[in-house]
Chain A
Amino acid sequence: MSAPSASSFVNINGVSLVYGKKDQTKALDELNMAITEGQFVAVVGPSGCGKSSLMKLVTGLRPPTSGTIDVGGQRIDRPLKIVGMAFQNPTLLPWRRTLSNVMLPMEIVEPHRHSFRADRKQHEARALALLDSVGLDGFATKFPWQLSGGMQQRASLCRALMHEPSLLMLDEPFGALDAFTREELWDVLQDIWLAQKCTTILVTHDLREAVYLADKVFVMSARPGRIIETYDVTFPRPRRPDLVFDPAFAEIVQHLRENIRHQRHVPQAASAGRAAS
């Protein structure tokens, strides 16, 4: 692994995570990651390798069993305040309508919480614009259970973006979407990122999604998860839908796929140092 540099915004250093006391599950094993400020990175890996767990560690929702995590120069020992997170399950609050679910961060996050009432109109306008951009116009007044799974995911993406976080964590935000909507939302997300330049960590199963969106793709091994490859994607931005037909694009996707397949059969592959590009 590349040694964590002082300039990186997110620094994950030798992090291990073990779930349970009696019946132990080792989810992460000596994992290292360094992410520069403003970078868009994707994390890919087989199911159950610890991607969601990694997200919870970085946001401070869960302490690591060993190792350290620093974000913005600060050691993480409690939940972060600068982060917008879209969980793997949409987790909208069922008693709130979509609009007030999306506005939730403004009621919690400093300093917005102190002026929530006064700025309500502005927040509403922003929330509606966000819903609009993900194709949820007209659903603001619906309850979460009146939305489909994919629509709930999109609403939860809006909630993560609402307070313009400086660290955006997305755990398979497009997992329940059809191919067309998904690719549309790639562009929506990329435009938002280009406008805000927030550091973004995207967990995904879709290698094309990872290569299309990210500056850097981290490949994780099967459980216990560790980074087995770091791949820099250098296509210029903004990337547009015809990029996926580019042979170079297909080649990278193919390379990552091979790599994941290979390490699935040989879980303990000592390939940690092998970085392409």
Chain B
Amino acid sequence: MNSEFLGRAMPWLVTAGTLALWEGLCRLFRVPEFILPAPLRILAATIEYWDAIWFHASHTLVMTLIGFALAVVFGLLLGIAVGSSRLAYQGLYPLLIGFNSVPKVAIVPVLVIWFGVGAIPAILIAFLMSFFPIAVNVATGLATVEPELEDVLRSLGAKPRDLILKVGLPRSMPFFFASLKIAITLAFVGAVISESIASSRGIGTLMVQASADFRVALVFAGLMVTAVMGIVMYAFFAVIEQHTTQWANRKMEMEV
């Protein structure tokens, strides 16, 4: 067994091991289902309630993706503004930090007052949670461009717009793609939080209702589905990152 194979198998092995340990401990100590259901019981509940779970989870997914899409557009623009202009940086940075420090849960009630219970608060919270890392990363990429690379273009008579398009943006793409995988999970968390407070549909709503009904296995089924969706979305953007910014990831390529 070579190390490359082991490297690939490791995530599966560790996950399977954790689940097996969990199952074993639950059986050994006869933990009651309403305190901590065992993985097999959760799996059974997932299958049993699959239709309901999918009904809610697909809605959460849509909310997440809409909020995330908004965050990509806005985060990219904000990042370019903050990263390429010193004035914008100095003016906006404190505000951004302050905004990012506010727990987004606290904003949900406000959004409900403004927009009512439903899709809009979920989308907005997903958006608000995820634009920050995108903006910060893009700004960092732009602000750390080597002056030598800019000199190459300036010596050709480039306009400021050329500098951003031909050097700044390509240069910050690795930062941008690295931020996407963080941002998508944050957007997802945001959507779930908002749904569990104010919505009639979504995986968050499902879990809140299930725990009110004391159906603990279903609550955990919702948690598991949430985790799996988070991993899948993260992995998706991690793969995109690797394929789009080959020049910045060459170290990995050499190892393979």
Contact = CB atoms under 8 A, between A and B. Distances in A.
A joins B in a complex = yes
Interface of A: 56, 59, 61, 79-81, 83, 85, 87, 89, 91, 93-96, 104-105, 107-110, 143, 145, 163
B249 to A, nearest CB: 11
Contact of A93 (B155, B167, B173, B248): B167
A38 B162 CA distance: 30
B96 interface: no
Interface of B: 148-149, 151-158, 162, 166-167, 170-171, 173, 245-248, 250
Contacts of B171: 95
Given A143-B247, A145-B247, A59 B152 contact: no
Contacts of A59: 155
B155 A80 contact: yes
B149 A93 contact: yes
Contacts, number: 62
Contact of A61 (B154, B166, B170): B154
Given A79-B154, A79-B155, A108 B162 contact: yes
Nearest to B167: A93
Given A107-B166, A109-B157, A91 B247 contact: no
Contacts of A107: 162, 166
> Shortest 6 CB-CB distances between A and B: which pairs?
A81-B157, A108-B156, A85-B155, A79-B154, A95-B247, A95-B170
A109 B153 CA distance: 9
Nearest to A105: B156
B247 A94 contact: yes
A91 B151 contact: yes
Contacts of A91: 148-149, 151-152
Interface centre among A56, A108, A145 (most CB of B within 10 A): A108
Contacts of B173: 95
A76 to B, nearest CB: 12
A165 to B, nearest CB: 9
Nearest to B245: A95
Contacts of A83: 155-156
B148 A79 contact: no
Contacts of B151: 56, 61, 87, 91
Given A93-B170, A95-B247, A104-B166, A110 B157 contact: yes
A61 B155 contact: yes
A139 to B, nearest CB: 16
B157 A108 contact: yes
